[in-house]
Amino acid sequence: MIRLFAALAVPDEIAEGLARRQNGLPGARWRPRETLHITLKFAGDLREDVAADLDAELSTIRGEPLTLELAGVGCFGEADDIHAVWAGVDETLALKHLAKACETAALRAGLPPETRVYRPHVTLAYLRRPDPDKVAWWIQANNLLRSPPFEVRSFGLYSSAVTDAGSRYRLERSYSLTPP
């Protein structure tokens, strides 16, 4: 079994700006710069044959390079169940189409459909039972986040391995975004 997800890498200069905001929240497990990404489709734990099918389906996706911007911050969960803080991504039509194409590829590879609404973001930290007031303060202090526009010319299929130090990601395949 291999745990996989399709994602867009965050360019180094954008990750550097995000890293400057990764403080001021006690107990946060801040994500290293090299792990920052925008998930397109989480596939989960797959058998090798299903992973190969997913790779084959993702390789058929065509689309223009994307220009994206990060905007705002937020959290997943409420009150005692807040479990992550994130930077938002302005959702463009091209990004929606790419995420939908990844979902369709996953369905063709035999994966179950996603039940959650797609919300593009970059996870900055995972939290365990944080003080909700401190999370609110961090969001208030960082809510004007706005990155410069950045171009994305490819997306990747990443594997995720859980270690004592947190999840480690590895790019398994890269897919160019080229016009159809």
Which residues carry out catalysis?
Answer: 37, 121
**Quick one: three-class SS letters along 18-70?**
HHCCCCCCCCCEECCHHHCEEEEEEEEEECHHHHHHHHHHHCCCCCCCEEECE
Question: C-alpha angle with apex 63: 73 to 112, nearest 5 degrees?
Answer: 70
Instruction: Give CA–CA dist 117/154, Å, rounded.
Output: 23
**Distances 162 to 4, 96, 147, 150, 176 between C-alpha atoms, Å:** 12, 29, 30, 30, 28
Decide: 145 and 70 in contact? Cβ < 8 Å.
yes
Residue type, 40: L
